[in-house]
């Protein structure tokens, strides 16, 4: 019985090409037609590897989400640091994460790490899942802000100084006495680090 031609590429190669496009130009630039052009393939041939673009993005998220081996089980802050670094390497990730079907091997392993880190809390399973979702949302928002600042060429000290100047101008008329008092007391300061904010988030969620 004659056998069909073997696929010219593997699914991993197709997904890697999609990641390269998204890394360079953003998720909006990634279409099945554009991916076909990158691979020198027919558009319809791509559906041999993925069901549709949503499935492709699911595969992309899982492909980049391999948590590196560690000497000790990662804590929540370790996981959030890793997520932030991952999102800064792949700027399309914060946009891609909402409503994804995260059932790939790498994303499930990350979820397992998170639940293991929360195991000592004794919290119900549903609460643990909520905490992990909220923390991931925080990291996506934080990394998205960093990426937007980088694109605009704005540093945090510049942003803070400009914002404080605007606030002081706004309160000069006396309509906001409490805000004016706070601004008079405090000089512009460097923002807290990612680690500091992330730890506050963790502490607050676990305390609640």
The CATH number given to whatever domain includes residue 98 is: 1.10.357.10
Q: pLDDT per residue over 180-198, tens digit each?
A: 888 887 665 667 899 999 9
Residues 54 and 90 grouped into a single domain: no
Dihedral angle at the C-alpha atoms of 86, 87, 90, 92, nearest 10 degrees?
150
The pTM of this model reads 0.83
Residues 91 and 20 grouped into a single domain: no
Residues 191 and 127 grouped into a single domain: yes
Residue ending a domain, choose from 64, 89, 108: 64
Residues 99 and 75 grouped into a single domain: yes
* Cβ atoms < 10 Å from Cβ of 132: 20
Residue ending a domain, choose from 49, 64, 79: 64
Query: Has residue 115 got a pLDDT over 70?
Result: yes
Residues 74 and 48 grouped into a single domain: no
Structural domains counted in the chain:
2
Residues 93 and 126 grouped into a single domain: yes
Spatial separation of the C-alpha atoms in residues 136 and 114, rounded to whole Å: 11
Q: What mean pLDDT do residues 12-30 have?
A: 96
Residues 88 and 163 grouped into a single domain: yes
Residues 58 and 74 grouped into a single domain: no
Q: What is the CATH number of the domain that holds 14?
A: 1.10.10.60
pLDDT at 186: 65
Domain coverage including residue 11: 1-64
């Amino acid at each position: 019985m004659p056998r069909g031609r073997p696929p010219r590429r593997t699914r991993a190669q197709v997904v890697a090409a999609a990641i390269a496009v998204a890394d360079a130009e953003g998720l909006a630039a990634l279409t099945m037609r554009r991916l076909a052009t990158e691979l020198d393939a027919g558009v319809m041939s791509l559906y041999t590897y993925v069901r549709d673009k949503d499935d492709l993005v699911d595969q992309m998220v899982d492909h980049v989400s391999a948590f590196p081996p560690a000497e000790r089980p990662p804590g929540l802050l370790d996981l959030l640091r890793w997520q932030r670094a991952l999102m800064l390497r792949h700027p399309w990730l914060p946009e891609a994460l909402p409503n994804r079907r995260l059932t790939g091997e790498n994303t499930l392993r990350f979820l397992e790490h998170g639940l293991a880190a929360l195991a000592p809390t004794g919290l119900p399973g549903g609460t643990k899942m909520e905490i992990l979702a909220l923390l991931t949302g925080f990291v996506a928002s934080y990394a998205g802000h960093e990426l937007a600042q980088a694109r605009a060429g704005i540093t945090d000290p510049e942003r803070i100084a400009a914002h404080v100047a605007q606030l002081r101008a706004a309160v000069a008329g006396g309509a906001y006495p409490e805000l004016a008092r706070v601004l008079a007391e405090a000089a512009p300061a460097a923002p807290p680090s990612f680690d500091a904010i992330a730890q506050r988030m963790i502490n607050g969620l676990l305390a609640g």
